[in-house]
Structure 1
Amino acid sequence: MAKTTFSNEMASMLIKHQAVCMTCNYHGKWRNNSDEAYEDAEKHRQKPGNERHIIDVLTQQTTRLRLFK
């Protein structure tokens, strides 16, 4: 996943993306960038019978902040 640690090492941020089909039970892998998640969504939609599936690409951000050393 795309992880950023700030120079003082007191905070870090993680961003990840996932294609999720709202029509069936498909969940793509968590990806480092949104383009990969969009590719997963398109591959799922290209399968026979999935042409009209509704697919969302979720973005999750986690921020960790250390309060005490």
Structure 2
Amino acid sequence: MAKSMISNKMASFSIRYRAICEDDSFKGPWRSHLEEAYQDARVHRQKAGNETHIIRILTEQTMSLTFEE
């Protein structure tokens, strides 16, 4: 998973991507890189019968904070 750390090391955030088909049950794995999710979408659409499927790329961002007492 892509991860960046803020310089004070009290907070971190992660971003990940996933291809999801709106026409069937296909859900690609979570990916660290956007291009990998696009590749999952391309591979799914290349399968017979999937040429017109609508596929979204879902982006999820999370943030963690550390509070000192």
Superposition TM-score, scaled by structure 2 size: 0.93
Matched residues, percent identical? 49
Q: Which runs of 4+ in 1 moved over 4 A?
A: none
Q: Indicate the residue corresponding to 2:61 in structure 1.
A: 61
Deviations 1:1-45 (A, max 9, x none): 001122322100010000000100000010011100000000000
> What CA RMSD, in Å, does the superposition of the two structures yield over aligned residues?
1.0
Map 1:1-69 → 2, pairs under 5 A:
1-69=1-69
The one-letter code sitting in structure 1 at the alignment partner of 2:53 is H
Structure 1 residues without counterparts, runs of 5 or longer = none
Give 3-state SS (helix, strand or coil) of 2:63's partner.
Answer: strand
Structure 2 residues without counterparts, runs of 5 or longer = none
CA distance in 1, matches of 2:61, 2:47: 30
Give 3-state SS (helix, strand or coil) of 1:9's partner.
Answer: coil
Q: How many matched pairs?
A: 69
